[in-house]
Amino acid sequence: MRKITNINAGWRFLKAAMPPATAIHFAPQGEAVSLPHTWNAVDGQDGGNDYHRGFCWYVRELTAEETRGERLFLEVNGAAHTCHVYLNGELLTKHEGGYSAFRVELTEHLRGKNVLSLCVSNEDNDSVYPQKADFTFYGGLYRDVNLISVPAEHFELLKDGTPGIKVTPVVDLEKKTATVRVETWHNAESVDITVNGETKTVERTAEFVIENVHLWDGLDDPFLYTATAKLPSGDEVSTRFGCRVFACDPEKGFFLNGRSYPLRGVSRHQDLKGKGNALSYEDHKADMAIIRELGANTLRLAHYQHAQEFYDLCDENGLVVWAEIPYITMHMPNGRQNTLDQMRELITQCYNHPCIAVWGLSNEITAASAVNEDLLENHRALNELCHRMDKTRPTTMADVFMLEIDSPILEIPDINSYNLYFGWYLGELEQTDEFFDEYHAKYPNRVIGFSEYGADANPAFHSSRPEKGDYTEEYQALYHEHMLQMIEARPYLWATHVWNLFDFAADGRDEGGKHGENQKGLVTFDRSLRKDAFWLYKAAWNRTEPFVHLCGKRYENRAEDETEIKVYSNCGEVTLCVDGTPVGTVKGKTVFRFRIPLLGEHLIRAEADGCGDTMVIRRVSEPDESYIFNKAAANVTNWFDADELDPACFSVSDTLGEIRQHPQAGPIVEAMMAKGASERGDVADAVKDNPALQRMMGRMTMLSLLKQGGADEESIKQLNRVLQGIRK
């Protein structure tokens, strides 16, 4: 019989680079730790881009009881990012890739006393992905480590961390049947395979037909079957599987089991405030509960292979998943083999999960790399590998907004998807609509998705005149209100994923009043607070529990005579009460707006279908400075009131396109743009070489471009003075 022994407890951690023998020698002085563990739980989340990247040691003695059995294997479910495994000082294996499981046999190397030492590294290098991205590359043994004892005759354990069993259900919706092919890998003469109560004795592979099949039907009914395989030696493996049909139509979007099923959801990184990526099963379950409350029916598990436990939760909850490898941002010529290794392990280890719909080849890989032959060839090799290993799922890739829609790389994956941030990083919200309409008109036969979109919000910041880049909760909500409408008007978008459900660690960031965090989450990093935008999507997607949500609870002090009260609700009619008196009822869908006078402090209550929400707000004489993140930028909107500017001359309120045309003013702004670009490095080249982006920027005012580029107040005023000296 197979025996799995978890050995998360009892490790000694040495945060130091040293030879194996030295690590074993000093282990007793090491820090006593239990897995899951990361050495970047704190410095990987506090900003400064200075978290420890090096190689560290985990050392543990194995007891006689733990090493009992005919054949003994070590299983490591997550060692980020490169791991060398030593037993009694002897190197047994090296694994490169921080997100997949791997195993190594210990049997022949066991001695009387057995000391396991794992050297784990998150150092930067030019061959193991990821190396450049907007998230912290935590180092550590951050998932379970187990010993697996099996008889001499056992299922395959080593090849790419295989489960030893592969299940391919093919559903015939007309006949209501599923043909289930079960393949196994082992070293015995025969195997007994059981599916749905039927057992067949075969060499390796068996096929079953399930009549009147119970479909895996997304959120409504994620029904799971189990396939079990058993050898004469007693070794046994099993896996759950789901019978479903996924399809993508270029015009009508995604279909589940023959019915239109637009995939509308969010992305998730696997980290948590204070714990890094060393998450427990309870942490994963807690995240899934929030996802189910939101009402998302799809998840993009970015930007790497997530824990098996989380794909299991997606299977059980009926979420349709985008799985991917961390081939991200910057192409590395020496990294091709690593992309293939990580993709092979992802598919080998995750193939049986019914929740997975697509394999993501890369993410924004042209953000800091040219589309050259080496990059194209790497994608072709990955695409072919996916199709060889899995004939049932399409491939996709998430493209950066600067990538021209005519780029040859878009012809490689089966499905295209774009990450667009118009209305946050640059441009206006409406340019998202224009982008998709232009793409879909030009490529009507291509399936297209919206793989990322979002805006940062710090729940401390508020405004009644929210605008792009102010990090207010109100702007994030407005941004998502626009995107929700844009998406609902474009059913051809096969999947859309908000970036991101949770704030997450990017130690290189220092913005929006937080160090080391990307704040595009609908929920804060510690999961303690749902921002207003969370309730917008819950109102649009969660049709099970009626609720009303008053926006702006944290925007208590309002320096205005009249204020907007916005309510998100999945009910059809909302009534607003002020100080106990009903002041209005609005019929509608998702978003309900009211305007009320502010005379002092008021108790506000929204009610619908028996549920309600309450808040207190008050009139104040001066704006509450604590609500403003960028005080300098906050004033810039009234720097250039129309009456101050000479309309006969240029100013920063004119568009880049207008100013560029002028023989005298043009070179001045080009020089300023070139200076700004040189400070942004590679990304700027991609912008400069992208005609679509250039056209878009031409439509933006110099003020908008400069604010977005982070120009300081004095530079903006200086440029304006120069432009005001140039007659149009």
Binding site for ligand GCU (CB under 6 A): 133-134, 303, 363-364, 419, 452, 499, 518, 520
Cα(609)–Cα(410) distance, integer angstroms: 48
- Minimum distance of ligand GCU from residue 363's CB (angstroms): 5
Burial of 263-282, coded b for 16+ CB within 10 Å and e otherwise, reads bbbbbbbbbbbebbbbbeee
Active site residue 517: no
- Minimum distance of ligand GCU from residue 518's CB (angstroms): 5
Please report the DSSP string for 22-46 in residue order.
HHHHHGGGSEEE-SS--TTTTTTSS
Cα(5)–Cα(145) distance, integer angstroms: 9
Nearer to ligand GCU, 5 or 363 (CB): 363
Nearer to ligand GCU, 39 or 450 (CB): 450
Retrieve residue 149's tokens. 């004892």
- Minimum distance of ligand GCU from residue 681's CB (angstroms): 15
Give phi and psi for 242, each to the nearest 5: -130, 145
Q: Which amino acid is at 660?
A: R
Q: Which amino acid is at 633?
A: A
Give phi and psi for 548, each to the nearest 5: -130, 145
Cβ pair 520, 473 in contact under 8 A: no
Nearer to ligand GCU, 598 or 683 (CB): 683
Nearer to ligand GCU, 136 or 348 (CB): 136
Nearer to ligand GCU, 170 or 683 (CB): 683
Residue nearest to ligand GCU (CB): 134
Cα(85)–Cα(79) distance, integer angstroms: 11
- Minimum distance of ligand GCU from residue 364's CB (angstroms): 5
Q: Which amino acid is at 496?
A: T
Nearer to ligand GCU, 197 or 681 (CB): 681
Closest CA to 701 of 401, 428, 404, 420: 428
Closest CA to 534 of 333, 350, 266, 718: 266
> Nearest 10 degrees: CA dihedral of 304, 248, 166, 314?
50
- Minimum distance of ligand GCU from residue 517's CB (angstroms): 11
- Minimum distance of ligand GCU from residue 683's CB (angstroms): 11
Nearer to ligand GCU, 218 or 454 (CB): 454
Cβ pair 368, 330 in contact under 8 A: yes
- Selected catalytic residue, list 236, 324, 345, 364: 364
Cβ atoms within 10 Å of 198's Cβ, excluding its own: 12
Cβ pair 238, 225 in contact under 8 A: no
- Minimum distance of ligand GCU from residue 299's CB (angstroms): 15
Give phi and psi for 705, each to the nearest 5: -65, -40
What residues have CB less than 8 Å from 142, skipping those under 6 apart? 35, 36, 37, 38, 78, 79, 80, 276, 277, 278, 279
> Residue 262 has what DSSP assignment?
-
Angle at 528 between CA 526 and CA 532, to 5 degrees: 115
- Minimum distance of ligand GCU from residue 688's CB (angstroms): 19
Q: Alpha carbon 546 to chain centroid distance?
A: 28
Helix locations, 195-335, DSSP H: 281-294, 308-317
Query: What share of residues in the chain are helix, strand, coil (percent, to 5)?
Result: 25, 35, 40
Retrieve residue 669's tokens. 């702004």
- Minimum distance of ligand GCU from residue 209's CB (angstroms): 43
Nearer to ligand GCU, 449 or 552 (CB): 449
Nearer to ligand GCU, 74 or 367 (CB): 367
Cα(98)–Cα(136) distance, integer angstroms: 12
Nearer to ligand GCU, 134 or 309 (CB): 134
Q: Alpha carbon 331 to chain centroid distance?
A: 19
Cα(448)–Cα(248) distance, integer angstroms: 9
Query: Among all residues, which ones are annotated catalytic?
Result: 364
